[in-house]
Structure 1
């Protein structure tokens, strides 16, 4: 083998030491393979559920060997699900804190705030709602999915309460609407279950669904 050629190649550093050889082409190929496997898993989870999807199915859909899936995702299905979910959140921008600028409610008005709430929620559900529903539907058969669904519901309920409290603090709820009632409405209207019923089962397009969410929140709270 020629010096410096092969997977174990090392190159000198300025300090006189060595560093592992890095190939941008290989790194890009690895990134593409990881994305292909992750996206294949996401599609299969939605189509067949978490329990009904196997690593073999993922490998076949992604066009790779089963051992490749485990090399890239050593945690198997669990790691695949979380990678798919994290990617969905990243695409929707949902890693950022749910922020509808409640500190400026007094000047922007309730309609603007409800529009922001709706926009954030619909974008999140369009990207990640199907995987949220996978966890909910698989909760009875898989302990990890049960815990995931429980934590997701708890986080959603906490966000809904924060938003309801902000609306109440700026006197934007009708007098007869309690903070808890408002939080319950927010939690339910923008739930992955309702999203799936209207978008998938009833066949609503996204703009019809978005408009319905906005009108329903406005009629129910303000």
Structure 2
């Protein structure tokens, strides 16, 4: 997504603010339509109509529909349009400062599962689109890599002051977290099997405590 040139004058700042508001309106319209209609049936014209802008505005700001999907994914991962990486978010900093190991794990799981729940509908759309759209397949692969790097950072928070269970490497710990804490597991257990969010989180905490650290709560 192209970023606007930052204005130094009052008029420039107003233009920048309007451009940001327009981009956010387009992305939010994209999220709604992708989830309601699917990625392939949703056209740039439909997104423009939903957002109340001209298609030319979308092409100028994003270039392609795939770029809108990528921006929509970024927005749902973060939960807002503040330009902060996930590992820079307040809930991660709070967990990093927590001295109690069990409480720290709960804070990490609560934050990560909220991201998984928030992104689940859009990621289901992406998986459907990937069957026919190479751009969607590539975006899924990029998302997997990014999520793995992010969750590597979360595991590093957990192991900064704790030892992993004997025989468990850092790489194995990250892969375990990656396999368990994701939107697909959320879909399986919460959406399809009717687990509550709390039930899912407690299950994850028990598994991770045992598998990574060899302890139970």
- Whether the TM-score (by the shorter chain) exceeds 0.5 is yes
CA change 1:63–1:178 in 2 (3 A) is same
SS in 1 for 2:42: coil
2:85 is equivalent to residue 95 of structure 1: yes
Q: Which has the larger radius of gyration?
A: 1
2:84 is equivalent to residue 86 of structure 1: no
**RMSD of aligned alpha carbons:** 3.7
CA change 1:219–1:83 in 2 (3 A) is same
2:6 counterpart residue number: none
Q: What CA distance in whole angstroms lies between the structure 1 residues aligned with 2:78 and 2:45? A: 27
Task: Tell me how far 1:56 sits from its aligned partner.
Answer: 2.8
For the 8 Å contact 1:138–1:145, the answer to whether it is kept is yes
Question: What does the per-residue CA deviation read over 1:53-78, in whole Å, with 9 as the maximum and x for residues that have no partner?
Answer: 2223323433555445435x341312
2:33 is equivalent to residue 44 of structure 1: yes
SS in 1 for 2:210: helix
User: Structure 2, unaligned stretches of length 5 or more?
Assistant: 1-8
Higher relative contact order, chain-length normalized (CA < 8 Å, sep 6+):
2
Total equivalences in the alignment:
200
SS in 1 for 2:110: helix
1:55 counterpart residue number: 44
For the 8 Å contact 2:35–2:121, the answer to whether it is kept is yes
State the TM-score, normalized to the length of structure 2. Answer: 0.69
2:131 is equivalent to residue 146 of structure 1: no
2:177 is equivalent to residue 189 of structure 1: no
SS in 1 for 2:144: helix
CA change 1:33–1:162 in 2 (3 A) is closer
Greater CA deviation, 211-220 or 27-36?
27-36
CA change 1:31–1:152 in 2 (3 A) is closer
For the 8 Å contact 2:30–2:68, the answer to whether it is kept is yes
